[in-house]
Homo-oligomer: A and B are copies of this chain.
């Protein structure tokens, strides 16, 4: 790849990172090109689809989440690990509207060491007796989707409100006050399909 092409690629990534963070994943591509100081054609040369650009911008997040997961498993207290993991992911969402959008459409940590780590986080806390036994990995999607919605709604007007939302969900996830959950949990397939269509 030629030197100027590399430079343009980086400019585009910088601009996209900023605009996605501020305005979400649906920012017009023209605008990203403009902010990058590059023509729309060049944007398409470097990133043939919007997804390719999104992927490149948020590639680092995968590793960050994997780190969070490993730290969760390293925590002394299983519940603290579990709660800390969810809090960490939600903090990433709150810090970046683009990632917030993405999290709502993508299972966090799905490549790599993937869901395996997350399953272990859940099961460890369940073995410790602090996470209710009737929840499944797929139920965590409710936390992500829900908090994502709250972040999107309150970001301008009441940043930090999402922490109350999360706190309520965490209290609901604790073994203590658990009433049996209705219906079967979503299968992995159902959760995946749900992510696919919105």
Tier of interface size on chain A: 35 or more
B152 A164 Cβ-Cβ under 8 A:
no
**Which residue on B lies nearest to A156, using beta carbons?**
B197
Could you tell me the distance between the alpha carbons of A176 and B178 in the complex, rounded to whole angstroms?
Answer: 9
Mark interface residues in A137-171 (1 if CB within 8 Å of B CB, else 0): 00101100111111011101110110111011111
Segment touching B, from A12-20, A53-61, A65-73, A182-190: A182-190
Where chain A touches its partner, the secondary structure class is helix
**Which residue on B lies nearest to A176, using beta carbons?**
B177
How many identical subunits does the complex contain? 2
Q: CB within 8 A of A146: which of B146, B156, B158?
A: B146
User: In the assembled complex, how far is the CB of residue A158 from the closest CB belonging to chain B, in whole angstroms?
Assistant: 4
B-chain residues with CB within 8 Å of residue A168 when the two chains form the complex: 135, 139, 142, 169, 172-173, 181
Q: A141-B153, A177-B177 are in contact. List 4 more A-B contacts (CB 8 A).
A: A104-B149, A145-B146, A153-B194, A161-B194
A residues near B, CB below 8 A?
104, 135, 139, 141-142, 145-150, 152-154, 156-158, 160-161, 163-165, 167-174, 176-179, 181-183, 185-187, 190-191, 193-195, 197-198
